[in-house]
Amino acid sequence: MKYLMIALLSILSLSCTKSPEKTPQNFAEKIVAFAIENSDDQFIELPELYDSLTKTIPDDKDEKTILVQILKKKGFKITNWGRGNWPPLGARIIQITLKKDDCECTVNKMYYATMDDSLYEMRERIKCRASH
């Protein structure tokens, strides 16, 4: 009986140490997953998503957003897109709405002017909600 218990414990301990392989998620991917899971229609802003400033605001066709790319990998499709200043003389903002099943997410990318008028700080934020 003693040897049977040792054998069973050995098998159990081996199975616990071998966890299923997970694809590691970076911080932005974790934030997107959190926004989707909670779907509470509250923005989560990532002020340090970009590690450098930019000199230009890209044209519509060249615009790249990190959070939108993550959502697209998860099967979300763009349903709406817009651009403007927020507030009227404030940051330049790009707003993209994406949907998958009954979940709708809005991603905003903001360009804030810096003390150096030729550089912009970039930020992104996301919120998701269950669509009805």
12-39 pLDDT, tens per residue? 333 333 334 455 579 999 999 999 999 8
Residue 26 has φ and ψ, to the nearest 5°, of -85, 175
pLDDT > 90: percent of the chain: 61
Taking residues 56-65, what's their average pLDDT? 89
Q: Is the pLDDT of residue 45 over 80?
A: yes
Q: Centre a 10 Å sphere on the Cβ of residue 10 and count the other Cβ atoms it contains.
A: 10
What is the rounded distance in angstroms from the CA atom of residue 124 to the CA atom of residue 71? 13
pTM (predicted TM-score): 0.77
Q: pLDDT grade, residue 5 (50/70/90)?
A: very low
Give me the chain's average pLDDT, please.
82
Amino acid 40: pLDDT = 87
66-102 pLDDT, tens per residue? 999 999 999 999 999 999 887 777 789 999 999 999 9
Q: Is the pLDDT of residue 1 over 70?
A: no
110-118's contacts with Cβ under 8 Å and 24+ in sequence apart are 110/86, 111/54, 111/57, 114/53, 118/55
Residue 64 has φ and ψ, to the nearest 5°, of -125, 130
Amino acid 74: pLDDT = 96
Amino acid 21: pLDDT = 46
The alpha carbon torsion through 22, 26, 28, 29 (nearest 10 deg) reads -10
